[in-house]
Amino acid sequence: MTTLYFHTFNSPLGLLHFAHANDVVYALAFAEFQEQLMEQLQKRFAENLNLQPAPNAAIEELLERYFAGDINALSLIQTHTDGTPFQQEVWQGLRGIPAGQTTSYQQLAQEIGKENGQRAVGTANGRNPIPLIIPCHRVINSNGKLGGYSGALWRKEWLLKHEGVVCER
Residues identified as active-site? 136
Q: What is the pairing mode between strands 2-11 and 14-21? A: antiparallel
- Half-sphere exposure of residue 93: CA atoms within 13 angstroms, side-chain side: 25
The neighbour count for residue 89, using CB atoms within 10 Å, is: 18
Nearest-Å Rg of the Cα atoms of the chain is 15
Query: DSSP 3-state helix, strand, coil percentages of the chain (rounded to 5)?
Result: 45, 25, 35
Closest among 21, 15, 18 to 2, alpha carbons compared: 21
149 residue type, one letter: Y
